[in-house]
Structure 1
């Protein structure tokens, strides 16, 4: 353990074997070194953006046990939006200041690939400067399988139709034994990484996520982070890593003991220490709560995501994020925490420092 502390003090890259020992350290030791690395990269800046999440359908061919969003017997309210309905939301969102539209859907077997993709072209025709973040690797995999398209064909169509960057959803936990229990039939870990690799090879950026706090163990989280680190060494295409806190309501995973704030903050800090090549660690307030996301800014995280305006996926499972967050609240919370609020665009270019 002394050698691990010395390695953290030096700031050198941790070997895989050393990464697996990080959870043995106490929270404040991890927080100390994660915060030093965070400050070296970003100083006291805490980033956020003005965005709007849109989820055009909850009808899904997959049955992930952790999901409370898709229509099933615990959520018997299936829906699908028309393109006109989506465009009305986009118009209102732009009027409210959104600079990014984040579009993620369930895997609807009753729609065409054109329904998924043509909405992006419609958005870009009217709002060419609006950033479109859309289609997780899980959606790319679904469109490929369901419509007989290769990954390359789906990705090329995404770019042709106006997608600017990819969100990190669908990663869950990469360990295939865990995936078989919580999201069997969904894109596998190797294909998730392959899809993002192909996206990066086209000069495009994406995010990466990790869903934790369900039936996985700390070793599975470390394995997940190391696979992200390995791909980032190859492509340098990940903007941010987002540890997503599992939400326990309205789903089919039996978790006897829900993790507390210490475990969440340790995972945030470890993410910063392991992922030395990913620029940003996002404490996604929609899953962690805004208060814990603010604390996480001193445990390695430097980003809070955005105003969201409306959030459907996490709130369906119990998160208090359905109505988004006001920009003024973001600024006041960041300032009162002794940090500098920085509004960013989707590529982390600074728009305004408050």
Structure 2
């Protein structure tokens, strides 16, 4: 097949060519993706010990796929104090967490400094912990809230103690789809711009793609190729994370859920098209634990981490509210035929579980 020949010759595929990858059978795609994966990582599967902190669920935006923000389907608004956020981080660190992952709703009532002060306070108490905080969507919100440029917001984040950025808020880059599912959120060009500015500051980030809702395969390919192009320019993405849409408690009313085959094809295609991004994460929270482990045969080499507590996707039906125990995660990876490797947030290996 011409497309496979081009891939073997390490030629870049056009959008039209890349879209044809979905027409290939699952096992051919899987074999191609797994070859790339094993050249990079062998049988290693990465995870980290981390804790998610979601400071507030009060949001000025109304994304139709979201079940986390306080609205008609989630009538329980909350905002954590800075002290509560610090206490959560300290408790997690005492249990072995190497990273706190801070993502919030876009709460316009607490002020710009609230967000920066959360990071400053955690950094002051825990100088060694890695702080992954604030998506590009949040950076865009902070800019509007404060009147500061993207550049100034990012500089403030670094000064506060942010080490890396998560990849959320990307959803699907096609603007017609965004107008339907997340109309008021950061646009695709500004999402990419914010990550480019972050990378220019010598910092790393992740990239995501939310799929399985009202987008089609061509939209996914377009999204992946735009990530590929920015990575060529900056080299700043650590990982690409295809996030499977969770269908409960939101307003998209998607009736048909993706098949496991479609999810695995998307994982494999991500690995095939994004050879310039080191890691493909099958995020167990949205993919399900079992399918995330299967995805290790289809190009993925990471399943995220212990998490401890997860609020955003569990509100939409994911079975992730209480995270995973370390020994359970290690045993599951081993039972799948892979070597569990604890990593830090920048993918330095900390411990190999033989």
Tell me the TM-score range normalised by the shorter chain. Answer: over 0.9
5+ unaligned residues in a row in structure 2: which ranges?
none
Establish whether residue 35 from structure 1 lines up as the match of residue 43 from structure 2: no
Q: Distance in 2 between matches of 1:15 and 1:50?
A: 38
Q: Which residue of 2 aligns with 1:312?
A: 311
1:121 Cα offset (Å): 1.1
Q: Work out whether residues 8 and 33 of structure 1, in 8 Å CA contact, stay in contact via their aligned partners in 2.
A: no
Alignment of 1:200-279 (within 5 A): 200-279=199-278
Q: Distance in 2 between matches of 1:227 and 1:234?
A: 11
Deviates more, 1:330-339 or 1:223-232: 330-339
Residue 233 of structure 1 aligns to a residue whose secondary structure is: helix
Establish whether residue 199 from structure 1 lines up as the match of residue 198 from structure 2: yes
Alignment of 1:131-146 (within 5 A): 131-146=130-145
Which structure 1 residue ranges, 4+ long, deviate > 6 Å from structure 2?
none
Residue 231 of structure 1 aligns to a residue whose secondary structure is: helix
Q: Distance in 1 between matches of 2:289 and 2:335?
A: 13
TM-score by length of 1: 0.98
Q: Distance in 2 between matches of 1:310 and 1:274?
A: 32
Q: Which residue of 2 aligns with 1:22?
A: 21
Establish whether residue 285 from structure 1 lines up as the match of residue 284 from structure 2: yes
1:17 Cα offset (Å): 3.0
Q: Distance in 1 between matches of 2:48 and 2:2?
A: 39
5+ unaligned residues in a row in structure 1: which ranges?
none
Deviates more, 1:57-66 or 1:113-122: 113-122
Q: Deviations over 1:105-127 (max 9, x none)?
A: 00001011110011111111121
1:11 Cα offset (Å): 4.6
Q: Distance in 2 between matches of 1:319 and 1:182?
A: 19
Q: Work out whether residues 13 and 276 of structure 1, in 8 Å CA contact, stay in contact via their aligned partners in 2.
A: no
Q: Deviations over 1:165-198 (max 9, x none)?
A: 0000000000000000000010000000000000
How many residues align structurally?
Answer: 353
Q: Which residue of 1 aligns with 2:86?
A: 87
Q: Which residue of 2 aligns with 1:68?
A: 67
TM-score by length of 2: 0.98
RMSD: 0.9
Q: Distance in 2 between matches of 1:353 and 1:281?
A: 19
Q: Which residue of 2 aligns with 1:295?
A: 294
Q: Distance in 1 between matches of 2:148 and 2:168?
A: 20
Q: Which residue of 2 aligns with 1:168?
A: 167
1:6 Cα offset (Å): 2.1
Q: Which residue of 2 aligns with 1:96?
A: 95
Q: Deviations over 1:98-148 (max 9, x none)?
A: 000000000001011110011111111121110000000000000101221
Q: Which residue of 2 aligns with 1:158?
A: 157
1:274 Cα offset (Å): 0.7
1:12 Cα offset (Å): 4.0
Q: Work out whether residues 9 and 33 of structure 1, in 8 Å CA contact, stay in contact via their aligned partners in 2.
A: no
1:9 Cα offset (Å): 4.0
Residue 291 of structure 1 aligns to a residue whose secondary structure is: helix
1:236 Cα offset (Å): 0.1
Q: Distance in 1 between matches of 2:192 and 2:10?
A: 27
